[in-house]
Structure 1
């Protein structure tokens, strides 16, 4: 079966809104050429899947025949060999050891941290105060993930370093991953800042790990779970380097997704007063003025639809896989080592899966309508054996943080200050200025 070739290369770098629109237009337009389209990622040929059925096949049905692709090879030297970047037996072993840290009982305990951190943030607000909401969302995400990971005094130092460095690492890391290898060796300020931030984070995480080894106590945090974990098959634990790599994975994966989702949620609530009113009414009814708990999350039915809609509208741009052996997708044979690519953003905005895909509509996640969404069409956390291990943590965090804010405050856009968008792996709001108005 012949595979059509896309006209032109996939545009990679650039951080302006026009370039963002160009890239999204390009990946969205590929569905016009068929279910599988050959494109050039820079100078590398790849095969782009536009059909959600094939994405489900890639991630779930035939997931064992694929490993992470070229993009993740570029991440591995500076983020380590954690769950996001490891493959094969290493990945299966690490997932068995990390999974218990995200059991529902553990997340119920972390939910207390989530609610307290959100309440502490909003306690600092003053009526009529203008807030940079993207900065508040980033700070809150760092606090929650940091305190869930580290609960010791040494851990507090780590949290401050993470707060200082993580978003520089996230943004520049994607630029580096999408750039030719020689670029990272150039004497550029961005390279120096990135290398220094990675070195600082690596050093403080390893210091915390070594400090824990000397102490040996279970502090009830994620780090304790990682250090106490043993492989069911071998009885072996993780080395300091393995723990470091998993911590970096949790920081990178856990902070960016929730920070962006929180910021965009408040942006969309302000743009849709009818949605905002329904969220406020539900929060008032379920919480009755008390802080939210893990048990409350499933009762916040409409708020969860809002969160799903935000995750649909603002996902990562694209992800890659590489074939481990000859395999067929949609009747098309691929040789071992073939790079395959798909775009959550394009899938989430496909009108064949989502009517009026650019309209913010939380009710599309009502049970009846959600049941009609094709498999593979909604993949904010991936799917199959490589689905994000912290997806329930992230969804709980977003719901509890939004409910905590919504119980007391409305965030209203500042007139004449439109939000700007910058882009790396996902869309970042910039200049999301909103006025804090007490609800009661």
Structure 2
């Protein structure tokens, strides 16, 4: 590991404003200069390994994944905002909840969510005015959030609560990004009260979800959505997960399904805009498939 090229802490600090604004150009420069694997010093005794080597990534994530654990970035930094669910846990806690939650994501059950997702997408698309210049990322962020929210709760009367939860989620994600990009200021974020402020926001978000769960239980109405699947999930001894754990898992689904999806969609649209030939090919493919009617899963299977 020590033989890998190293980007010094001094160089990281020197480029701190660039990294805070957008770290991708900085890291691309380092990949071009140092190769597919290198280390970055982010503190006196802390280094992070960056790689774009497909073989190494496959070794870590597929062939030898049991030898690796999630980093403190997930299990501590992210977990303090969204709790200890599948995304932020390791070891036995992760295995126990993976076995418990996995049946909820069976293919047949996910097919039942496609109609909910499609309705949410159609509603968001209607808000986009044609022949107008738009900033794509906020639109994709709203789209991804609404799809996740409707898939979880399948309700049309909680947009105000969802707007509040979206604000909290995005605000805390921005804070986490600052912690990632400015690790040398973690002490200041703590003593200045910034961390405390965002932890209080996270508590408000948990209250929002707790309110929605209480309403679902009081109405005693079954819905074919992810919340129902999680409410019905059971440990091996037949007991349900605690309310705290349930809220953790819901927050995980919001976080994992929101920003990552918005980023991917935004990048895809950006790349399509730069390549008219591929854009036209994609348009014709979608135009020839009746996605909005019939068997949604079968229609999606016709896409390349």
- TM-score normalised according to structure 2 size: 0.84
Partner of 2:187: 182
The DSSP-based 3-state class of the residue aligned with 1:124 is: coil
Structure 1 residue 88, shift from structure 2 partner? 0.7
The DSSP-based 3-state class of the residue aligned with 2:41 is: strand
User: C-alpha deviations, 1:327-363, integer Å up to 9, x for none?
Assistant: xxxxxxxxxxxxxxxxxxxxxxxxxxxxxxxxxxxxx
The DSSP-based 3-state class of the residue aligned with 1:230 is: coil
Partner of 1:6: 6
User: C-alpha deviations, 1:368-418, integer Å up to 9, x for none?
Assistant: xxxxxxxxxxxxxxxxxxxxxxxxxxxxxxxxxxxxxxxxxxxxxxxxxxx
Distance 1:235 1:277 in 2: 52
User: Are 1:299 and 2:302 counterparts?
Assistant: yes
Contact 2:7–2:39 (Cα < 8 Å) also in 1: no
| 2:66 pairs with one of 50, 64, 78 | 64
Structure 1 residue 154, shift from structure 2 partner? 7.4
| 1:77 pairs with one of 66, 77, 80 | 80
Flag the 1:115–1:291 CA change in 2: closer, same or farther, 3 A: farther
Unaligned runs of 5+ in 2: none
Flag the 1:24–1:168 CA change in 2: closer, same or farther, 3 A: farther
How much is the aligned-residue C-alpha RMSD, in angstroms? Answer: 2.9
Structure 1 residue 194, shift from structure 2 partner? 3.0
Structure 1 residue 196, shift from structure 2 partner? 4.3
Structure 1 residue 151, shift from structure 2 partner? 2.7
The DSSP-based 3-state class of the residue aligned with 2:289 is: helix
Contact 1:79–1:248 (Cα < 8 Å) also in 2: yes
Partner of 1:52: 54
| 1:142 pairs with one of 129, 145, 152 | 145
Alignment of 1:122-133 (within 5 A): 122-133=125-136
Distance 1:142 1:288 in 2: 21
Distance 2:25 2:202 in 1: 30
Distance 1:167 1:38 in 2: 29
Give the count of matched residue pairs: 295
Partner of 2:174: 171
Partner of 1:88: 91
More helix by share: 2
Unaligned runs of 5+ in 1: 302-440
Flag the 1:155–1:120 CA change in 2: closer, same or farther, 3 A: closer
Distance 1:288 1:294 in 2: 9
